């Protein structure tokens, strides 16, 4: 199946590939399949890698209708949350006080997702966007369709 999202590195010796038909697969550098799974709906965004203190290395994958966290070593699904609108673009991560949060664009809002609970904690209206958010210090910046760079102070 076609891969619209970029592969991501899981470890020095492995990477994760996701496909438009909703499958994800991990391979070692010799091309040997380590694990695979399916979300049941298309994956168009690049998954993101993060480490938490409980489950260790994880990946967060956005499909058309859900957000899924899998263990990066085994491929086991740890958490799933249904979305009201698809997320646009790759995630950016920020850490504060020992917790990691993910930020992405849903509809016209910058959304903050607590990765320990997968609860949407905060939304900020940024207008219609076309870029993935990036972090710079305490700011998240992204472009919008009005030819503006929007920077939001988070902490």
Structural class in CATH, domain 86-155: mainly beta
At 32 the pLDDT is 94
Domains 1-83 and 86-155 share a fold: yes
Is 28 within 8 Å of 14 (Cβ atoms)?
A: yes
In this predicted structure, the answer to whether residue 93 has a pLDDT above a threshold of 70 is no
Confidence of residue 36 (pLDDT cuts 50, 70, 90): very high
pTM of the model: 0.67
Is 47 within 8 Å of 59 (Cβ atoms)?
A: yes
Q: Which sequence spans correspond to the domains of the chain?
A: 1-83, 86-155
Arithmetic mean of pLDDT, 25-40: 91
CA separation for the pair 2, 128 (Å, rounded): 27
Strands 134-136 and 23-28: unpaired
Confidence of residue 79 (pLDDT cuts 50, 70, 90): confident
> What CATH number does the domain located at 1-83 have?
2.40.10.480
In order of 35, 38, 41, 109, the CA distances from 65 in angstroms are 23, 13, 7, 16
């Amino acid at each position: 199946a076609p891969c619209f999202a970029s592969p991501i590195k899981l470890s020095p010796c492995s990477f994760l590939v996701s496909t438009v038909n909703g499958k994800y697969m991990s391979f070692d550098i010799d091309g040997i399949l380590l694990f695979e799974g399916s979300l049941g709906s298309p994956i168009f965004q690049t998954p993101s890698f993060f480490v938490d203190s409980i489950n260790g290395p994880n990946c967060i994958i956005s499909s058309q209708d859900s957000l899924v966290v899998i263990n990066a070593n085994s491929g086991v699904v740890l958490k799933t949350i249904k979305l009201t609108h698809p997320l646009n673009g790759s995630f950016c991560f920020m850490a504060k006080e020992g917790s990691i949060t993910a930020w992405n664009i849903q509809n016209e809002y910058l959304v903050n997702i607590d990765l320990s609970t997968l609860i949407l904690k905060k939304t900020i209206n940024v207008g219609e966007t076309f870029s993935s958010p990036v972090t710079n210090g305490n700011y998240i910046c992204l472009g919008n369709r009005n030819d503006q760079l929007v920077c939001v102070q988070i902490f």
